[in-house]
Amino acid sequence: MRQITGGITAVSGILAAGINCGIKSQNKDLALVVSRKPATVAAMFTTNEAKAAPVQLCQQRLAAGLAQAVIINSGNANAGTGAKGMADGRRMAELTAKGLGIDPGLVWVASTGIIGAPLPMDKIAAGIQGLIPQLDSSGGEAAAEAILTTDTRPKQLAVKLSLEAGEVILGGMAKGAGMIRPKLATMLCFLATDAKIEPAHLQSALKLAVEQSFNLITIDGDTSTNDMVMLLATGEGVTLDPGGRDWEAFEEGLMYLTRELAYQLVWDAEGATKLIRVQVAQGRDKEQARRVAFAIADSNLVKCAFFGQHLNWGRILAAAGYAEAGIDPRRLDIYIGGVKLVEGGAKSAGADEAQAQAELARREITVRLTLGQGNSTVEVLTCDFSADYVKINAHYQT
Amino acid sequence: MRQITGGITAVSGILAAGINCGIKSQNKDLALVVSRKPATVAAMFTTNEAKAAPVQLCQQRLAAGLAQAVIINSGNANAGTGAKGMADGRRMAELTAKGLGIDPGLVWVASTGIIGAPLPMDKIAAGIQGLIPQLDSSGGEAAAEAILTTDTRPKQLAVKLSLEAGEVILGGMAKGAGMIRPKLATMLCFLATDAKIEPAHLQSALKLAVEQSFNLITIDGDTSTNDMVMLLATGEGVTLDPGGRDWEAFEEGLMYLTRELAYQLVWDAEGATKLIRVQVAQGRDKEQARRVAFAIADSNLVKCAFFGQHLNWGRILAAAGYAEAGIDPRRLDIYIGGVKLVEGGAKSAGADEAQAQAELARREITVRLTLGQGNSTVEVLTCDFSADYVKINAHYQT
């Protein structure tokens, strides 16, 4: 596996475009991704019970197992919009289908931005007209820009796998920034591969990858109404299935792609100055390790301490304690970087505090807890918590 | 019931004192509360699995049902301190018992402040010597000051109940400020009454009151290692029990006292500029209403929006949706103050947004959700989330 330039349009058969259609006063806000032929599709959606209209629409479409395009707007989430929101979402799909000359049932819809405002359908209708002529096999970057909200930079990636059956390309783009605490799926992410894969197999590979990537990050503990991860397999390349020798390598490639995009999301979190890897090892089981890791990664107090570069392991201990995970503090060790600060739940006598303090000055910091109760390990990515997060979110209308 | 001046020492038979013993460079940091005679005792403790040494010690002492004194220090939590922490906690009790000439088993211990540092036992030992001569029936205020950490003001209250059996006094003090998301019990709170009540009955009344007060507030979603609520019944006054006609009035008085102290805690939350009442009504059951209310009250995004005075009901809808409480967005209405902003999960057509915006400028704001699924109601108190919270917690060593 090696990384190649580009994002979703690095996959042969995928075209994309991104423009400003006037939802936002500046910057691109409307993106379109199209497969030359109907592709098999897999997807995961937010577990939020107040699902946005486009999420409900795509959930209905998933059963067919085939999709050919996705139209995406930023600046307006089309969430909390009731029956009108559903009608607007369907209309976005219909207008796109008409412009492309394909079946509306093959067009997916995604939205991200302000909750509760109706979509400006006149602008979107005109935008779709302007967008289709710009579809291009190098349009991935423009599309990646058009799906952003408070993100500061586009997030995209592509990799090439050299399998026994031949070469396979995997590419994708994502947006994040805030309201990120995935449960089963997360934020907007669009992925594609040129491999030919049955929908059920594509879905199982996507689920595995998402659980090991987007479901292991948290920015602010808020799970959005609009989260969605979509994976298209255009079928222009080699055929893959779980029975074949290449399947595991494909799964690994997909996991690499989703993990790297998740990593990019956390780095571009609202107000973040540091990326924190919370590793929990020696868990009784995965669930215990996951609970402890998320309690720490979601703790405002822990994250403020990292922002302030304070060697405040007491807050980490407290968060592990309230995770309701059945830890035994007397078996708990805590490391910052390579320095063991806590041994058996209390301050380690020989800890090199100066070195630990130096670790805190880094931009990327690893916190490691060993629970002493088993062999399960989890790593959750999060960021620090700065005064800028509050400023951004006191004034931005999500 | 009427409010009277003073706090815990408004209860006859209770003496208290507070001094600076040098744990903190300035301000009082050591408090002592003593009952003239052994009192029946009830208590609730943090559910954090990494319980501080004093919490473990008091849990052991609770079984006896009797207590006569509690020695409390601020500035150091005696948490994450291992076997030495337990020994130090026991020594605090022993030194206090010796000075008072009573059984060490009747002395409780509480600590709050930095996690992970050993207690400065020389300062505490000298402090206890200095504290005992200052015990006084008007010492409640000094004690209330000595238990504070980042709190900006002491929190105390007393009420007088006129019951059929005679008058009963209830008084208490509390400290809070940060690391507050109670589960079963919370922060430090010391209460007393002059009624004569059996330990089991006292415990049931305390549990009821705490569930309706401290367990319905959240400041930052972090549950501390040191939370404790202690209630002494000196028995100098009238005898009360659940079979009697006065019991319900006593329970109401205790609930009033704990709710008022909880209210004071939220008002003095780190960095808070507003108090938010999150009311959830028409829940299928209490648990559903509680989950929805806490998801909103703990949401950083919701709390930032209140700080910024943004009419951002989309974040409230999103939080209700990820509460995993089985809501039906199509039945959900959201009010700010008296203004119905959301009806059936979408923007209410006739909403008076100008009035809702004016509500946001108030210091105390009520958010009300009706779920349309039943008759259960819960009110959770929280505060807004300001850049000052981050500043305080980036630089304070909890």
pLDDT in tens, B373-395: 999 999 988 888 887 877 777 76
Domain ranges in chain A?
Answer: 2-267, 275-395
Q: Mutation test of the interface with chain B: which of A46, A48, A49, A307, choosing the one with the most B Cβ atoms within 10 A?
A: A49
The shortest C-alpha distance from B81 to chain A (Å) reads: 5
What's the gap in Å between the CA of B156 and the closest CA on chain A? 26
For the domain made up of A2-267, the CATH class stated in words is alpha beta
Contact A80 B322 (CB under 8 A): no
Q: Which residue has the tokens 């039906």?
A: B328
Rounded alpha-carbon distances, angstroms, from residue A61 to A57, A108, B112, B374 = 6, 8, 55, 33
pLDDT at A183: 45
Tell if the CB–CB gap between A222 and B397 is shorter than 8 Å. no
pLDDT confidence tier of residue A219, bands split at 50, 70 and 90: low
Task: Report residue B377 as tokens.
Answer: 């109601």
pLDDT in the model for residue B92: 97
* Shortest alpha-carbon distance between residue B84 and chain A (Å): 9
What would the mean pLDDT of A103-126 be, rounded to a whole number? 93
Closest by CA to A319, choosing from A292, A286, A284, A343, is A292
Q: Which position has the higher pLDDT, A266 or B118?
A: B118
pLDDT-derived band at A81 (thresholds 50, 70, 90) equals confident
The pair of structure tokens assigned to A358 is: 């130096």
Whether the Cβ atoms of residue B186 and residue B215 lie closer than 8 Å to each other: yes
Q: A328: which 2 tokens?
A: 């035994």
pTM for the whole structure: 0.79
Is B168 an 8 Å CB contact of chain A? no
pLDDT at A266: 79
**H helices within chain A, ranges in order?**
53-62, 82-100, 121-131, 140-146, 199-211, 247-267, 286-297, 300-307, 313-322, 353-360, 387-395
A85 to B346: CB separation less than 8 angstroms, yes or no = yes
* % of chain A with per-residue pLDDT over 90: 49
Residues 6+ apart with CB under 8 A from A64: A105
Q: With an 8 Å Cβ cutoff, is B104 touching chain A?
A: no
**Of the ranges A75-84, A173-182, A207-216, which one carries the lowest mean pLDDT score?**
A173-182
DSSP label at residue A253: H
Residues of A marked as catalytic: 186
Q: A3 pLDDT exceeds 50?
A: yes
Cα gap A393→A275, rounded to integer Å: 19
What tokens appear for B318 in the block? 């999103």
Contacts of A116 in chain B (CB under 8 A): 313-314, 317, 342, 346-347
| Contact (CB<8Å) A117/B298 | no
Q: Which of A49, A116, A395 sits opposite B308 (nearest CB)?
A: A395
The yes-or-no answer to whether A2-267 and A275-395 have a common fold is: no
The reply to whether B48 touches chain A by the CB within 8 Å rule is yes
**For residue A332, what pLDDT is reported?**
93
Query: Nearest 5°: CA angle at A133, between A130 and A134?
Result: 90
CATH 3.90.190.10 is held by the domain A275-395: no
Q: According to the model, what pLDDT value does residue A222 have?
A: 67
Q: Rounded to an integer, what distance in angstroms lies between the CA atom of residue B52 and that of residue B56?
A: 7
DSSP state of A204: H
Q: Report chain A's mean pLDDT, rounded to a whole number.
A: 88
* Beta-carbon contacts below 8 Å between A and B: 240
pLDDT of res. B180: 57
pLDDT grade for A109, boundaries at 50, 70 and 90: very high
pLDDT at A289: 95
State which residue of chain A sits closest to B397, comparing Cα positions.
Answer: A312
Q: By three-state DSSP, how is residue B258 classified?
A: helix
Locate B3 and state its tokens: 């409010």
Each residue's pLDDT tens digit, B354-379? 999 999 999 999 999 999 999 999 99
Going residue by residue through chain B (398 aa), what tens digit of pLDDT does each one get?
889 999 999 999 999 999 999 999 889 999 999 999 999 998 888 777 778 899 999 999 999 999 999 999 999 989 888 899 999 999 999 999 999 999 999 999 999 888 888 999 999 999 999 999 999 999 999 999 999 887 788 989 999 999 988 899 999 988 876 655 544 344 688 888 988 899 999 988 888 888 877 777 776 666 667 777 788 898 888 999 998 889 989 998 898 888 888 888 878 777 788 999 999 999 999 999 999 998 999 888 888 889 989 888 888 988 898 888 999 988 999 999 989 999 998 889 888 989 999 999 999 999 999 999 999 999 988 888 887 877 777 765 54
Cβ A301–B222 below 8 Å, yes or no?
Answer: yes
Alpha helices per DSSP H over B220-362: 247-267, 286-297, 300-307, 313-321, 353-360
Catalytic residues of B: 186
Chain B residues 375-394 with a CB less than 8 Å from chain A: 385-387, 389-391, 393-394
Position B7 scores a pLDDT of 92
Given A80, A183, A312, which is nearest B342 (Cβ)?
Answer: A80
Q: What is the DSSP string of B85-104?
A: HHHHHHHHHHHHHHHHTS-G
pLDDT grade for A16, boundaries at 50, 70 and 90: very high
Q: Are residues B313 and A77, on separate chains, in Cβ contact within 8 Å? A: no
**Helices B286-297 and B313-321, interaxial angle, to 10°?**
130
Of chain B, the end-to-end C-alpha distance in Å amounts to 38
Give all strands (DSSP E) within chain A, no chain letters.
2-4, 14-19, 30-45, 66-76, 107-114, 155-163, 166-175, 188-193, 228-233, 275-283, 333-336, 339-343, 346-347, 364-370, 376-383
- The span from the CA of B148 to the CA of B304, in Å, is 26
| Range from A119-128, A237-246, B355-364, B386-395 carrying the lowest mean pLDDT | B386-395
**pLDDT given for residue A398 in this prediction:** 46
Nearest Cα to Cα of residue A262 among A360, A381, A372: A381
Residue A97 identity: A
- For B236-263, the pLDDT digits (tens) are 889 999 988 899 899 988 988 888 888 8
Does the beta-carbon distance from B325 to A116 stay under 8 Å?
A: no
pLDDT of residue B184: 38
pLDDT at B186: 46
CB-closest option in B77, B220, B301 to A300: B220
